[in-house]
Amino acid sequence: MNSPINVVILAAGLGTRMKSKRAKVLHRVGGLTLVEHVVNAAAGITPPEHITVVVGSQAEQVQAALAHTGVRFVEQTEQKGTGHALMMCRDALAPQGGLVVVTYGDGPLLSRATLQELVDRQAGVDRAATLITTRLEDPTGYGRIILGKDGEVQAIVEQKAATPQQLSIPLINSGIYCFRADLLWKHIAEIGTDNPAREYYLTDIVEILSRAGHKVAALEVPDSEELLGINTRAELASVDKIFRERKVRELMLEGVTIEKPETVTIDCAVRIGADSIVGPFAQILGPSDIGEDCRIGACSIVENSKLADRVHIAPFTSIADSKVDADAHIGPFARLRAGNRVGAGAHIGNFVELKNTQFGAGAKANHLAYLGDAEIGDKTNIGAGTITCNYDGVKKHRTRIGKAAFIGSNSTLVAPLEIGDSSYIGAGSVITDPVPAEALGLGRSRQVVKGGWASKQKRKK
Ligand code: UD1
Ligand code: CA
């Protein structure tokens, strides 16, 4: 069977119940936007499909968030309901036939497996559609599934339009459907706005199809968690918690030790090698990649960074957009801002800040330093209080320090500047001119000692 499968994700609503300036589908759980999670699930089904996302509220931002996924977009300029949103796709999709899978951009927990099962149930059968349902202890807010005597779905009744008896039905509409394209597009225009919200409810299509003599089946899934839709910030937080718990469980099963797992925040895209240890309250964010036998200390934050094997990050350290080679030791209380490369076995200690700096293998900056726009050679030692003056108020300049150099404490290195291999800088120097290899650079006033000065002062009084 070669009929195409088109997936449509409805993501045009603002999400009034979020009380946010940002469109609901752009809010994040597990480190990704809600709509990215849905696209990921849809992208996993077979055979290969086209994914169309209906955008409207903050269309540009939603398109930007999904640009990397290669999905197509259709615009719904006015948000007149889920039925209306799907109508926007008719011209593009009706000629293709096949199957149309519809899902909502606010249900990020949906798995590929469940979506695939839905498609497999509907593929090659006569009936008009199959939809996913589950039983909820508290179904408040969801549409309810009305079953006929034969177990087929007769209608979906929205919360606002339901009778007290219908409200007691525990079977809910997940908002995930698979339609025969020919019947969907033939009947979609029959959806009206005769309901309390005056919206085109996609859910009405079920009753329309069933009255026209077509069958709609329900696929009941036992794990209702993956069908949770997000409408409020409270639901956003509880779904985020589910993603965090899943991620730490998955990592622990893969051989990562996580201390106090309920306190750590690890994004979905993070990878961590076996025998690494993550301390309490650590956050590992973005697409970070941590090697084996690493240690991420308590309360440290690692974002969009790559750490090789056996890297030790001591507590309260912040690392963003950086690369760290094997056996390096960083922190406690260190800050690696953007664009750093730390060499193998290097040491970076407390209150050291690096920005856009190449820090050589085995080099050390153990305390209190700022190294910005710098290259530090292998095995060079940076004394406490060393500052690269990389900014003259207008432009940034680079500092290049060679290998095995020794920069004395409290040195002020005024960039642009070159300091050669195996050279020395005397403590307390302000260095403005190049220092060649093997040389000693001094840039400080001489000490003066006045003998007996204190007692002379006292006699004057
Ligand atoms: C919807 C279903 C309900 C189901 C629930 C599952 C309808 C009428 N109701 O209710 O039966 O139990 O989802 O979570 O479908 N959207 C648009 N354009 C619009 C309106 C909405 O693209 O004009 C998008 C939204 O961005 C959102 C999705 O459709 O991603 C669902 O809309 P929402 O308002 O959250 O529907 P619910 O009230 O939750
Ligand atoms: Ca919803």
pLDDT tens digits, 74-129: 999 999 999 999 999 999 999 999 999 999 999 999 999 999 999 999 999 999 99
Distance 105 CA to ligand 2 centre (A): 8
**For residues 348 and 354, is the Cβ–Cβ distance under 8 A?**
yes
How many A from CA of 304 to the centre of ligand 1? 33
In angstroms, how far is CA 333 from the centroid of its own chain? Answer: 24
Task: Decide whether any atom of ligand 1 lies within 6 Å of the 27 Cβ.
Answer: no
Distance 54 CA to ligand 2 centre (A): 15
Indicate which ligand has the atom closest to the C-alpha of 174.
1
In terms of Cβ atoms closer than 10 Å to its own Cβ (0-12, 13-18, 19+), residue 93 is: buried
| 104 C-alpha to ligand 2 centroid (Å) | 7
Q: Is 142 in the pocket of ligand 1 (CB under 6 A)?
A: yes
Q: Which atom of ligand 1 is nearest to the CA of 13?
A: 26
Ligand 1 site, residue 373, Cβ cutoff 6 A: no
Selection from 333, 296, 301, 331 nearest residue 319 by Cα: 301
Q: Write down the pTM of the prediction.
A: 0.92
By DSSP bridging, strand 129-135 and strand 171-180 are antiparallel
- Report whether residue 172 contacts ligand 1, using a CB cutoff of 6 Å: yes
Q: Which ligand is located closest to the Cα atom of residue 82? A: 1
Residue bearing the CA closest to ligand 1, atom 16: 13
CB atoms within 10 A of CB 450: 7
Q: What is the pLDDT of residue 55?
A: 98
Candidate from 82, 226, 228 with most ligand 1 atoms within 8 A of CB, to mutate: 82
Query: Which portions of the chain are predicted below pLDDT 70?
Result: 1-2, 48
- State the catalytic residue, choosing from 84, 312, 347, 367: 367
Cβ of 226 closer than 6 Å to ligand 1, yes or no, is no
Ligand nearest to the CA of 236: 2
Token readout for 396 is 């940034």
Q: Is 339 in contact with 323 (CB distance < 8 Å)?
A: no
Ligand 1 pocket residue status of 158, Cβ below 6 Å: yes
- pLDDT for 46: 82
- How far from the centroid of its chain's Cα atoms is residue 85's Cα? 27
Q: Tell me the pLDDT tens digit for each residue of 36-50.
A: 999 999 999 987 679
C-alpha dihedral (346, 347, 348, 350), degrees to nearest 10: 170
- Average pLDDT over the chain reads 96
What is the pLDDT at residue 2?
Answer: 62
**Residue 367 annotated among the catalytic residues of the structure:** yes
Compute the distance from residue 94 Cα to the ligand 1 centre, in Å: 22
pLDDT reported for residue 307: 98
pLDDT score of 406: 98
Report the distance separating Cα 156 and Cα 178, nearest Å: 15
Nearest CA to ligand 1 atom 37: 142
Q: Which of 173, 240, 178 is nearest to 27 (CA)?
A: 240
Distance CA 425, CA 431 (A): 8
Q: Nearest C-alpha to atom 25 of ligand 1 is from which residue?
A: 13
Distances (CA, A) of 40 to 4, 111, 123, 207, 397: 19, 9, 21, 31, 43
Both tokens of 355, joined, read 């920005």
Q: Name which of 236, 234, 166, 233 is nearest 203 in CA terms.
A: 166
Query: Which one, of 360, 298, 300, 293, lies nearest residue 324 by Cα?
Result: 360
Name the closest-CA residue to atom 36, ligand 1.
82
Yes or no: say if 278 and 257 are a contact pair by the CB < 8 Å rule. Answer: yes
Distance CA 18, CA 38 (A): 19
d(CA 119, CA 63): 26
Distance (Å) from CA 163 to ligand 2 centroid: 21
Q: Any idea what the Cα angle at residue 34 is, between residues 29 and 39, rounded to 5°?
A: 130
Mutate to test the pocket of ligand 1, among 22, 66, 104, 193 (most ligand atoms within 8 A of CB): 104
Asked whether 204 lines ligand 1 (CB < 6 A), one says no
Cis preceding linkage at 436, omega within 30: no
Residue 433 has a pLDDT of 98
Four-point Cα dihedral 156, 159, 165, 171, nearest 10: 50
Ligand number, closest to the Cα atom of 106: 1
Which pLDDT value is given to residue 72? Answer: 97
